[in-house]
Amino acid sequence: MSAFKFRLEKVLSVYQILEEQAKQEWALQEKLAHEERLKLEVLNIQKEEVRAFGYAQGDLALRQAMYGYLAVLEQRISRQTSVIEQQEALAAQAKETWIKARQETQKVSTLRENKYEEFLKEELRKEQKILDDMRAHLQE
């Protein structure tokens, strides 16, 4: 039985490398988006803590300072929300790139599997022909 040789093996390897790189890029973008969401959570917690502290104070000057600080926190929360939206868009784009790379790899991989099945069928056909020839010579 001869060895199976797939002519597009190098192409398949390149597609697999590209797929892995795209997958890593997607994972990185998802990680960055997660970190940005965590920053937003911290800002929201900080806002609630300032609000709770300010409302517990009887001094109007402290409450005024609290309102000013809350306004600054709201601006930071708004900026952070837009950063999250941008990062999630990058993550979605990276995921789409990875999916396309995976599909390309799958196409070549499926082609390889089909060629291997054809190779096996041909090898079995050759083996059967040899066995038939041997049986024909034995019967003579």
At 59 the pLDDT is: 83
Is the pLDDT assigned to residue 2 strictly greater than 90?
no
What is the structure's pLDDT at 58? 80
17-56 residue pLDDT tens = 999 999 999 999 999 999 999 999 999 999 999 999 888 8
pLDDT at 123: 93
pLDDT value at residue 65: 87
For residue 27, the tally of other CB atoms under 10 A from its CB is 14
Tens of pLDDT, residue by residue over 73-120, are: 999 999 999 999 999 999 999 999 999 999 999 999 999 999 999 999
* pTM exceeding 0.95: no
> Max alpha carbon distance in the chain (Å)?
116
Distance from the Cα of residue 122 to its chain's centroid:
39
Per-residue pLDDT, 112: 94
Instruction: Supply the angle between the helices 60-139 and 9-56 in degrees, to the nearest 10.
Output: 160
What is the band of 1 on the pLDDT scale with cuts at 50, 70, 90?
A: low
